[in-house]
Chain A
């Protein structure tokens, strides 16, 4: 049975269908792995106590010959940013420590409609604000490759759950790299779809114009199956596109012809970290073997992507997080001993005590950048440069089909190393934030290990709604690179 946890989602699903094993056995295997490993890794905030019951229902369907859906019986771990009806959803915050949503996110509904079973809710940086999973109210999550290292963030728990075989697939959210960066740090696949591909309805909002949910898995094919299930127009999210969701998984092996791979010169100008350079070289070799051609492209506004990102993300967040006020749900300070002096005091204490430091720092920053007299200099200016950055990409994609780049400037760093230095932490997002700003699809594909034996991925980015090519190229690279390493301890 211990083999089950090393299977892909696709293998699990077909194993259940062909009655090789039962959905309940699958679920039990993963739950056992969680019991064995998660005390140390801390990747789950809560588990679904109905998971076995739901697996049993899948088994019942199998035995009565009923359709179980494309992901029937596959356990899925969900970042705690996604509302799950009747299952605690915390966003990694004390603010929502006891929040049980009365509704589910569209992504959750879609996964369940495909037969997937929620195994639990994953740890994350508080309100997805962080790149190391250290800002979680529920404690840092640890990198399974070396527990002294961060797993990345903000979707750290979702990446770790898959890397440490506690779930075959998981869902994260990506606002500035929060899926791709932890995927790279943990040696798994992580995909951020085009903005508008996946409904944001029911997903705790961090930055509305940047947030996008996406899958983690150990293969491109598994993530593709998840995307086929969660993408598509949603009547509850005005920003979802009605562009058709194609059966991408059936086309992954189609020959990609005359693919031009763009290398943005700005990304490589300052020289790369040795390990990161190695990962890019391996990726290039694979692409060469596939017959791809390389072209130099230019994204002149690259160096501004981090400041634009932080201005826009914090501005939007300052407003998005205003709803956590202790009136209708969430944390309320103790006013029995010390009554609220006035309404302002009531809010300040609820919010001041309910939010952690990084969240308060970002809300303060965003409140300032939107405030009277500063709006034009910060928020509006950032949106203007965002427009220029998006044009840079549009121009580049006239000359190439896919952009290859690092995911981060370095492999995973140690827990505690950067938490006190926000700017260094923010600057680490240089390669990932621009994808969100331009609304493009991007993914992280694991390729190698660093000299410290930590995984490193490379990032592939495509033009908007061109997931089809992105997935094909990534899948075929994956076959050639054949990264088979796994954390020693799992």
Chain B
């Protein structure tokens, strides 16, 4: 497994130590996962979630959230009412 690529994909900076450790551990974990290949799952529909509820829809009714300003107050950096981040282009 290419740990560098995975770390970039997951946006995680890892120390060299973490990289080495993860690489070793993950290869044995993945090997452990290989056990699943013993089972023939041809035609088995994957179970994504155990519930069987049909159509839990919401009616189209808008609502103003009274705590919108609280939400901005927990942000690391804002300018006015906007979230601020380093330049993205």
Contacts and interface: CB of A to CB of B under 8 A. Distances in A.
Nearest to B43: A384
Nearest to B42: A384
Nearest to B84: A327
Interface stretch (A32-40, A169-177, A233-241, A396-404): A233-241
Contacts of A318: 10
A307 B75 contact: no
A330 interface: yes
A240 B67 CA distance: 25
Interface string A318-329: 100010011111
B20 interface: no
Q: Chain A interface mostly helix, strand, loop or mixed?
A: helix
Chain B, interface residues (CB within 8 Å), range: 35 or more
A195 B51 contact: yes
A360 B7 CA distance: 9
A308 B50 CA distance: 14
Interface in B34-89: 35-37, 39, 41, 44-51, 53, 56, 58, 67, 70-71, 73-77, 83, 85-86, 88
Contacts of A240: 53, 56
A306 to B, nearest CB: 8
B44 A239 contact: no
Interface in A324-371: 325-332, 335, 339-340, 343-344, 346-349, 351-353, 355, 357, 360-361, 363-365, 367-369, 371
Contacts of B26: 361, 364-365, 368
Contacts of B50: 195-196, 209, 390, 437-439, 464
A152 B41 CA distance: 34
Interface of A: 85, 99-103, 195-196, 208-209, 235, 238-242, 301, 303-304, 307-308, 310-311, 318, 322, 325-332, 335, 339-340, 343-344, 346-349, 351-353, 355, 357, 360-361, 363-365, 367-369, 371, 378, 380-388, 390, 422-423, 426, 437-439, 464
Smallest CB-CB A-B distances: 5 pairs: A439-B50, A352-B13, A383-B46, A347-B11, A102-B70
Interface of B: 1, 3, 6-14, 18, 22, 25-26, 28-30, 32-33, 35-37, 39, 41, 44-51, 53, 56, 58, 67, 70-71, 73-77, 83, 85-86, 88
30 contacts: A102-B74, A196-B53, A208-B49, A238-B56, A241-B53, A242-B53, A304-B36, A310-B33, A328-B83, A330-B76, A348-B11, A349-B13, A351-B11, A352-B13, A353-B13, A360-B18, A360-B22, A363-B12, A364-B3, A367-B10, A368-B1, A368-B6, A368-B26, A369-B33, A384-B44, A384-B45, A384-B47, A387-B45, A388-B39, A439-B51
